[in-house]
Structure 1
Amino acid sequence: MEVELSKKKILVTGGAGFIGSNLSEELLNRENFVVCLDNFSTGKRENISSFIDNPNYKLIEGDIRNLDDCFLATKDVDYVLHQAALGSVPRSIKDPITTNDVNVSGFLNMLVAARDNNVKRFIYAASSSTYGDSESLPKVEDVIGKPLSPYAVTKYVNELYADVFSKTYGLETIGLRYFNVFGRRQDANGAYSAVIPKFINLLMKGECPVINGDGSYSRDFTYIDNVIQANILSLVSQNKESINQVYNVAFGERNTLNDLVGYLKEYLSDFDTNILKVKVKYGGKREGDIPHSHADIQKAKDSLNYNPAFSLQEGLRKSIKWYWENI
């Protein structure tokens, strides 16, 4: 991706997490100064171990629920990439209060700190969960339904707050609605691990993955490098019409969970042919799940020059290689 971005001071909240650490690494490779704010509730120190000693990297152990931490982290910063959040629909259903505290109160703290410290642009991780019960496909930014989980509520509230701050205080904001992001460094072992790393881990151990429902639910799985591209483009965009908007960030095609498991078994068999023999189990539908997710990415293409380079299949091959070498 030939985009000029260097010598900037950029805060990545949740910078020790899956997406945040990958963004930080890309920014450092482009010779920027990166500040990471993370409380390590879900982030991992091993995610940042390869660049923790980089002189252009600064780690602040803090919490976005603490306004003072937010002010400290945003001091003298040019841009914010806000990735810090408590993810997972099931976790939000189990504990909506903590999810709201982190995702709404923490988000508001970050907006206030960015505003008061004169940050030039605030780019934040929005979510495809915002589409809720809308049955229209593909998902277009202006057509959403009612949220189906506390997590979805919090991510929609983020968009509302960002819009208010842009209109009321002139803070430049861009929201990126991520669609089922996967790739290197994504947690494969947590209680709320995403489906791709969880299934890769199980299959590598010869254990049966359990699909919620009959496997016909579909998702627009999005490889991490596509997400990195969208964030970089959001940072450098000089198109005034692109600011204070929300964009879908995905590859732009959908695959069923049955398709996904088929790809995983095929690609993992390059490392161990026995994986082809592993059976799949089916369980009950998961509360709060939407049946189908498929992004229309034309808006991001037109306004940000977004052009995702990695399909599900290409991303899976890269991810599997990483997990095989690192788990």
Structure 2
Amino acid sequence: MNIKNLELHPDYHILVTGGAGFIGSNLCEALLNNGNRVTCFDNFATGHQKNIAHLRANPNFNLIEGDIRNLADCHKACHEVDYVLHQAALGSVPRSINDPITSNAVNVSGFLNMLVAARDAKIKRFVYAASSSTYGDSESLPKVEDVIGKPLSPYAITKYVNELYAEIFSNTYGLETIGLRYFNVFGRKQDPNGAYAAVIPKFVMKLMAHESPVINGDGSYSRDFTYIDNVIEMNVRALLGTTPEAINTVYNVAFGERTDLNELVALLKEYLGAFDPKIKTIETSYGPNRQGDVPHSLAAITKGKSLLGYDPQFDIKKGLKEAVNWYWKNLK
């Protein structure tokens, strides 16, 4: 994504934690293309060297291999940095249910380490990846930032605790923070492999292999699927916000429309079918609902639009076409 039109000053040195991951590597690339100095901080637990391999030759790119659970590593990563885009975390609701201790260690203790390091380094602003899972059992739609329910998984608890810690660091130490509640992000570089792969790349790989994608439940569950370029835009806008009401708060990051899983599979079959007509004939399989899943998710994005000028350009169809083209080219 070209972020030059957003007028982020190229002189800024920006730290991207989890910079070798799906979202982080896309942020690194966009910032480097804008002329910024970028430090990528990753332990490669879920990130991949291949995601940043093409960036290594750029003189403005610096890689620090380390772990956010180690405070000394966090201090090293924050040295002489202007801004932090904190993406490092252990995602996945099922992963957190299977191993809540590690999820907490990374997502809570690691997050606290990064806040401390950012405070000590006098970082200008700390923008972090929050999560739509924070809405928990709240049944209200669309999801509005100041109305949340009880968390439904250890992962959701960790992401809500992040918001609480960020608020305390803003109030107590004067560290500017902005949390971005991501809604089901998808797009290029999203890993289709592993037990905790996200639904879109998992379905794409199944269909390209002429195998049936397996939907958890009857396919009526819906999500506000959000293309990666919308997320990049919001991260940059979070760095640029200047009014007092725009900072030290949280925002939904989504497109503002929901798509159920049956509709999602139908779109994937249509777009992949343009490359391989046989894919259009593949039957869909159904399994049990997944523990900890909320039935429906839809974001209100009015706050981001009004306070930061957020203007997402990719709806589900436009984003899926881009993602499918990337997967077909790179993973077929």
Q: TM over 0.5: same fold?
A: yes
Note if 1:197 corresponds to 2:201: yes
Q: C-alpha distance in 1, partners of 2:7/2:75?
A: 28
Partner of 2:61: 57
1:191 deviation in Å?
Answer: 1.1
1:240 deviation in Å?
Answer: 2.1
> Which one of 2, 7, 20 corresponds to residue 4 of structure 1?
7
Q: Write the letter of the residue equivalent to 1:173.
A: T
Q: C-alpha distance in 1, partners of 2:25/2:265?
A: 27
> Which one of 122, 135, 140 corresponds to residue 136 of structure 1?
140
1:190 deviation in Å?
Answer: 1.5
Identity %: 69
1:59 deviation in Å?
Answer: 0.3
Give the TM-score taking structure 1 as reference length: 0.99
Partner of 1:34: 38
CA displacement 1:10-62 (0-9 Å, x = unmatched): 00000000000000000000000000100000000000011112110000000
CA displacement 1:271-300 (0-9 Å, x = unmatched): 000001100000000000000000000000
Note if 1:308 corresponds to 2:312: yes
Partner of 1:180: 184
1:113 deviation in Å?
Answer: 0.2
Note if 1:18 corresponds to 2:6: no
Q: C-alpha distance in 2, partners of 1:239/1:186?
A: 34
1:3 deviation in Å?
Answer: 1.4
Note if 1:92 corresponds to 2:131: no
Q: Write the letter of the residue equivalent to 2:130.
A: A
Alignment of 1:66-215 (within 5 A): 66-215=70-219
Query: Aligned with 1:49: secondary structure?
Result: helix
Partner of 1:43: 47
Q: C-alpha distance in 2, partners of 1:22/1:88?
A: 19
1:4 deviation in Å?
Answer: 1.2
Residues paired across the two proteins, number: 327
Alignment of 1:267-306 (within 5 A): 267-306=271-310
Q: Write the letter of the residue equivalent to 1:180.
A: N
Q: Which runs of structure 1 show a deviation greater than 3 angstroms over 4 or more consecutive aligned residues?
A: none
Q: C-alpha distance in 2, partners of 1:153/1:130?
A: 7
Q: C-alpha distance in 2, partners of 1:323/1:70?
A: 33
Query: Aligned with 1:260: secondary structure?
Result: helix
Query: Aligned with 2:25: secondary structure?
Result: helix
CA displacement 1:231-277 (0-9 Å, x = unmatched): 00011112221000100000000010000000000010100000011
Q: C-alpha distance in 2, partners of 1:20/1:255?
A: 25
Note if 1:320 corresponds to 2:291: no
Partner of 2:249: 245
Partner of 2:267: 263
The two structures, once aligned, show a CA RMSD in angstroms of: 0.5
Give the TM-score taking structure 2 as reference length: 0.98
Q: C-alpha distance in 2, partners of 1:254/1:269?
A: 23
Q: Write the letter of the residue equivalent to 2:6.
A: V
Q: Write the letter of the residue equivalent to 1:9.
A: H
Query: Aligned with 1:11: secondary structure?
Result: strand
Q: Unpaired runs of 5+ in structure 2?
A: none
Q: C-alpha distance in 1, partners of 2:193/2:109?
A: 28
Q: C-alpha distance in 2, partners of 1:235/1:27?
A: 12
Q: C-alpha distance in 2, partners of 1:90/1:229?
A: 29
Q: C-alpha distance in 2, partners of 1:238/1:49?
A: 34
Q: C-alpha distance in 1, partners of 2:241/2:292?
A: 35
Q: C-alpha distance in 1, partners of 2:241/2:29?
A: 20
Query: Aligned with 1:63: secondary structure?
Result: coil
Query: Aligned with 1:58: secondary structure?
Result: strand
Query: Aligned with 1:48: secondary structure?
Result: helix
